[in-house]
Chain A
């Protein structure tokens, strides 16, 4: 009986809800966000995003500050996409004690902007000698790296040309351009790939022209001892565009960050809204129901909370306590509940005067019974509507706390992404892909709930509909 009632009422509600267009939009947005939460592992490229957002080494093979890959569609000067080359031609040579392992990688460079780096990666043990050479389409051969690496009993080999071949490239340059030109560049700030993938000319430094064609990257490992070994070699070329939303200046994939932030936004929004509205409704109802000096006292306490500016308090508290998402939610609840109190109280004052309240009082009902069985249920429609309107507020608040750098450092939220962008001067340097997506998501989630809330409000307060 009861269940079918609920079914019926949901059906009726849906029937009415369908007619409110904005509600449908809100619902669709909400479902998209929900989808993102449920299928998060499937749609993001870095599964551990949540735990490693602040672990710089996790992101080191990604390009830095590059726009989304789809920006290539809008320009004729294509940027190199990030890629991995893991199918080298491997040749092995035994030379007495020495074992020489040569892996030759082929890279077909066809874009205008070169990749940001060339990173050699492999598993290895012992202390092999590693030599990395590049052969360009114009048959120039440059030795980029030549050093023994100490890997001990087993470790990753990671050799980044960006940091290790500045000297080699500088030497290459010095052969090509006049000394006067060469003085214009700082050896330490030089980006090797800029020149490795450009036509070698006297004009090298001023006007770089991309040198398209097949590049061969040859990695030779010379192992002296039995225990030295190199296996599974591959090369990473962090492009100059990346993924769906690009990367930030910590080389993090923003798409993964934004998607991983959805669940936190939902958690912060829903939990804060549900808890604070519940507290607010109860407080308002109880205050109205008790009346007299108790009501006055409760209202004064309420006013203290209302007139306390939340942000400074949060800043202080975040400084005192270790800022975690839970304390943040707790603090927001502790102040947000005031939002619904006034309205609820005035509604409850009206309900309190209804005869059926008097009737159940006359029947001997306890105060608790009257509050929870008679008054609160009548306020539920209002509660739901105001919850929906609280959610965007909570999300934005968390964002502004994070923007001040006081967010929870163990998770990734949209607010924190924005905060990092702000601190790195992303807006000034025009890194829009770092700022717009999380900002837009906050706006959209706020909108989703606001739309649902408005629609629910419209349905539940039919009298307001004409206005």
Chain B
């Protein structure tokens, strides 16, 4: 039983941190004081095999940095990354290459993520060349063709010769997805994959991604600011605020029964295409905007904007994330009283 559960966790991060040093004033240099942007400040979560894990938050909450840490594009300041049962926080060259073969990424802007001078086939083939897959060019191109048909770019040879700018936004994101699939990875980190895509095709891309995920048994980390698509797309949602996860659970639980005041505010602020709201001023329970990450408030980091803040929230430690039962976690001192 214990073993089974462990095998199910494909990806685990423990207390992951990324602090970026910031420029100091002269007096700070002399006093030896160092200041940091604490972009990611102690994030932990588990992702199960075959799960779509959603990381949701506003801009500057650290979700993209978390994604980059996982992709090993940045080195963590602290914490652990465990992938497939192996500590992958720090990897040597060979292990890193291996890791990157298994963990792929889809970027927000599919156009920017492809070299404008490369044809689609070159973009996809490059990954194969890097990882020394396929014996010759012919074999590699066959693999490219297969990957393109997996993402429903049909017929593939029609798209292979094109340059990225000759494709529509949706087609480009499909090609980008194909690139991430071509090595048969175990996990894909998708950073806002549909936010630059027109609404009419957005669902199509998400649908395609989900189909591929089911067919190939992939695991996704879906990073987004958009709660609505997260609800549709993910199996689990983690809400981030200022570098920390404040709430985590199944989408239905988190969205229909939010426990953290921040999640509640976020959900109440989302616009919905429903009639009869035009003449009402919407209740927005929280004021202001996200504070600067160099200067994270003491105590609960949300207390400066929280409508329910009290003495317990303003001093001392951050609230720890705790289980409310039913795999619904929340990091708030007072959530029980709010219900």
Contacts and interface: CB of A to CB of B under 8 A. Distances in A.
Contacts of A359: 105, 107, 113-114, 179
Find the residue from A363, A364, A377, A378 having the highest chain B CB count within 10 A. A363
Nearest to B129: A369
Interface stretch (A70-78, A312-320, A350-358): A350-358
B109 A355 contact: yes
Interface string A356-380: 1011111111100100011001100
B270 interface: no
B130 interface: yes
Find the residue from A358, A359, A374 having the highest chain B CB count within 10 A. A359
A377 B117 contact: yes
B286 interface: no
B145 interface: no
Nearest to B98: A364
Given A364-B131, A377-B117, A355 B126 contact: no
Size category of the binding interface on chain B = 20 to 34
B252 to A, nearest CB: 32
Interface in A372-407: 373-374, 377-378
A147 to B, nearest CB: 79
Interface residues of A, number: 17
A365 B113 contact: no
Interface in B88-142: 96-97, 100-101, 104-105, 107-109, 112-117, 126-127, 130-131
A354 B108 CA distance: 12
A449 to B, nearest CB: 26
A364 B112 CA distance: 18
A366 B131 CA distance: 10
A363 B113 contact: no
A358 B113 CA distance: 8
Nearest to B119: A5
B105 A362 contact: yes
A359 B189 CA distance: 12
B304 to A, nearest CB: 32
B166 to A, nearest CB: 14
Interface of A: 354-356, 358-366, 369, 373-374, 377-378
What 3 pairs across the A-B complex have the smallest Cβ distances?
A: A364-B100, A355-B112, A359-B113
Given A363-B127, A364-B96, 17 more contacts: A354-B112, A355-B109, A355-B112, A356-B114, A356-B115, A358-B73, A359-B107, A359-B114, A362-B71, A362-B73, A362-B105, A363-B104, A363-B179, A364-B130, A365-B126, A369-B130, A373-B126
